[in-house]
């Protein structure tokens, strides 16, 4: 996906409708969707092979430019002239998102495009330490694609981390790690998760459902929970509670006298969790330690406005401030 931002200021209401008038200042564009996961991984120093489908259009070319700028290859990106590139345009005034406009198509890929995607992924698996599937339910990740790719990863011993979508209940069985938020987990188990006990029950149920090694449930202000098939109890990581001044990233001596983080935007926080988890697991870091790193990374990203990435220096500073 392509994320486009229109930045401006708003000081008055429109006489035509009870909506703010935004005076344009500038605009920017970033990788969105699974592209944001790839961008986070690249920013952390990983060698990333992105896969996806774009339209044969201007936003599709913009995605290729963004990938090039981030140092990622584009061989895994398939252009399909029958589709349009997914674009999410956000209008932001005074650090407040006013409205988002989405342009997209969600029907499943054609058989030919699906086969092309599968061939490209399989051809690259020999160079991978981990595979990440970030499913946004736009028709690109089909059941056959997920099943065949996971089967090949299992054969080769490549760990797979999956952020599933609620409409896809069975395609990801056998993944190494399933990552979802509390709302998505509640949908999977058909009940709301409003306390620690319900989260614990959901985590155990999802382990059995997906047949995976671990489940990570992100819980916003409550941090995240990790459930492993080898452990009878879940592991909880509390949300970052100290506010970090990003002017002092990489420097020692955080001010621990303040409490609570100033949250600008939760956009992409889940992508950061998935990215840091994936990189840590690719480096053979145990899942619990990987989850602590991922939670610290998410705490940095929510302090930024818009879809954002995290740098190694920022992650290191956040981990130091946990001590």
The yes-or-no answer on residue 271 being catalytic is yes
Residues 171, 173, 176, 179: is their CA dihedral positive or negative?
positive
Q: From residue 174, how far is each of 132, 150, 155, 246, 284 by CA, in Å?
A: 14, 7, 11, 39, 19
80, 135, 271, 321: which one is catalytic? Answer: 271
**Residues 174 and 161 sit within 8 Å (Cβ to Cβ):** no
**Residues 301 and 270 sit within 8 Å (Cβ to Cβ):** no
In angstroms, the CA 195 to CA 18 distance is 39
Strands 214-218 and 87-93: unpaired
DSSP class per residue in 73-123: --TTEEEETTS---EEEEEEETTEEEEEEEE---SPPPHHHHHHHHHHHHH
Based on the number of CB atoms within 10 Å of its own CB, is 21 exposed (0-12), middle (13-18) or buried (19 or more)?
Answer: middle
Residues taking part in catalysis: 271
């Amino acid at each position: 996906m392509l994320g486009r931002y229109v930045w401006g200021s708003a000081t008055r209401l429109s006489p035509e409708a009870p909506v703010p008038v935004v005076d344009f200042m500038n605009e920017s564009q970033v990788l969105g969707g699974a592209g944001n996961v790839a961008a986070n991984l690249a920013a952390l120093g990983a060698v990333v092979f992105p896969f996806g489908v774009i339209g044969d259009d201007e936003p599709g070319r913009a995605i290729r430019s963004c990938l090039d700028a981030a140092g990622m290859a584009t061989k895994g990106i398939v252009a399909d002239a029958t589709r349009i590139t997914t674009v999410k345009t956000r209008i932001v005034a005074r650090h407040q998102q006013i409205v988002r406009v989405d342009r997209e198509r969600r029907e499943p890929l054609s058989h030919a495009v699906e086969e092309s995607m599968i061939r490209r992924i399989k051809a690259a698996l020999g160079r991978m330490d981990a595979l990440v599937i970030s499913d946004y339910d736009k028709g690109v990740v089909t059941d056959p694609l997920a099943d065949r790719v996971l089967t090949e990863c299992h054969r080769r011993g490549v760990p797979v981390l999956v952020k599933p979508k609620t409409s896809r209940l069975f395609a990801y069985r056998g993944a190494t790690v399933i990552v979802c938020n509390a709302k998505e987990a509640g949908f999977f188990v058909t009940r709301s998760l409003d306390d620690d006990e319900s989260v614990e029950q959901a985590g155990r149920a999802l382990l059995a459902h997906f047949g995976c090694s671990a489940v990570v449930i992100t819980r916003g202000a409550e941090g995240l929970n990790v459930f492993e098939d080898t452990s009878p109890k879940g592991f909880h990581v509390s949300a970052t509670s100290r506010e970090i001044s990003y002017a002092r990233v990489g420097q020692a001596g955080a001010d621990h006298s303040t409490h609570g983080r100033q949250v600008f935007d939760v956009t992409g926080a889940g992508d950061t969790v998935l990215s840091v988890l994936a990189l840590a697991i690719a480096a053979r870091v145990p899942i619990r330690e990987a989850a602590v790193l991922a939670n610290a990374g998410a705490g940095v990203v929510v302090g930024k406005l818009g879809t954002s990435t995290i740098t190694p220096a920022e992650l290191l500073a956040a981990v130091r401030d946990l001590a």
